[in-house]
Amino acid sequence: MRLPGRDAETARIERLLADARAGRSAALVVRGEPGIGKSALLTHAVAAARDMRVLARAGVEPESELPYAALHLLLRDVLDGVGRLPAAQAAALRTALGMAAPGPPPDRFLVGIAVLTLLADLAADRPVLVVLDDAHWFDHASADALLFAARRLDAESVVMLFAARAGHAPAFPAPGLADLCLSRLDDATARQVLDAHAGDLPRPVREMLLREAAGNPLALCELPAAYRADRAPVFPLGPPDAGRGGTAPTHSAVEREFAARIAALPGTARTLLLVAAADGTCNVAVVLGAATGSAPGRPTWRRSNGNG
């Protein structure tokens, strides 16, 4: 399935897969804001790798502090291959994955080498694609082991794809690996995506949703559904008391992301956002006045004039 506006990116992924089939290996980190299409690109890679062995897992935030939790999820279906590793590597990997008696932490170098050897062994049968979504939520021990292996790929017929959020998430440094940074869709492509999900909506509504999405593919897909469910504000297309805004949340990925961002703001900033959301007039003086408890039209909040 074609991803609108992502022809160059999908072509790059497909070249990596073709190289793996020819005996070459590579690793790539896909970066971008929430909803920009990182997961969609990884899904495309999996679909294009039907003839390859695929190991695919996503980072889980609640387990980001548990050493080797992500690595265990990734390798749990291929653990029978651990017994064929060199003894020292096998022992380190078993300890890391909780397959050995409790003892001192495993040697991190040996764990990384064990991951590389295991992937190479799997690729001896057929090329391997490793897909690691939401890598910013990987625990540090797993990330270190996987990145260690990724930097040492050569001729094993292995492709490793990481996806990591840019901003508003833990950093995912990956020195030595190539990056693929996804930008927002241009206007023409954004309209194409929106029309596919909102062709039945009036043109003024589509224009509003287009502005709100600002080229973010997930927002372009989810905002029309939110509008139809009366969960999207319609000002300035109608009066503030039209009765359509301010209803229950959609619990979509976009809304969850912005809810998390808002929760992290200082209390005064959250208050200002709450008042702006409840107001509906788009009158800055009214919003600032209400937020500070002053009379409308006489805000006590000072706005920058560009000189500080």
Cα–Cα distances (Å) from 62 to 26, 124, 259, in that order, read 30, 35, 18
Check if the beta carbon of residue 224 is closer than 8 Å to that of residue 198. yes
pTM equals 0.77
Check if the beta carbon of residue 34 is closer than 8 Å to that of residue 254. yes
Cα–Cα distances (Å) from 240 to 230, 255, 280, in that order, read 14, 22, 5
For residue 295, give the DSSP letter: P
Question: Using one digit for the tens of pLDDT, what is the confidence trace for 26-40?
Answer: 999 999 999 999 999
| Among 36, 32, 1, residue whose Cα is nearest residue 219 | 36
Go through the domains of the chain in sequence order and give each one's CATH number.
7-181 (3.40.50), 187-260 (no CATH), 265-308 (no CATH)
Question: Using one digit for the tens of pLDDT, what is the confidence trace for 55-84?
Answer: 999 999 999 999 999 999 999 999 999 999
Kindly give the confidence (pLDDT) of every residue in the chain, 308 residues in length, as a single tens digit, with 9 standing for 90 and above: 789 999 999 999 999 999 999 999 999 999 999 999 999 999 999 999 999 999 999 999 999 999 999 999 999 999 999 999 999 999 999 999 999 988 899 999 999 999 999 999 999 999 999 999 999 999 999 999 999 999 999 999 999 999 999 977 899 999 999 999 999 999 999 999 999 999 889 999 999 999 999 999 999 999 998 888 875 544 333 333 333 333 334 445 555 555 666 766 787 777 777 777 676 666 777 777 776 764 444 444 444 444 44
Beta-bridge partners for 28: 161, 178
Backbone angles phi, psi at 263, to 5 degrees: -60, -25
| Among 200, 53, 211, residue whose Cα is nearest residue 127 | 53
> What is the CA 119 to chain-centroid distance, rounded?
24
Which residue type, as a one-letter code, is found at position 40? Answer: A
| Among 166, 218, 163, residue whose Cα is nearest residue 190 | 218
Which residue type, as a one-letter code, is found at position 86? Answer: P
d(CA 48, CA 41): 11
d(CA 152, CA 112): 10
Beta-bridge partners for 179: 29
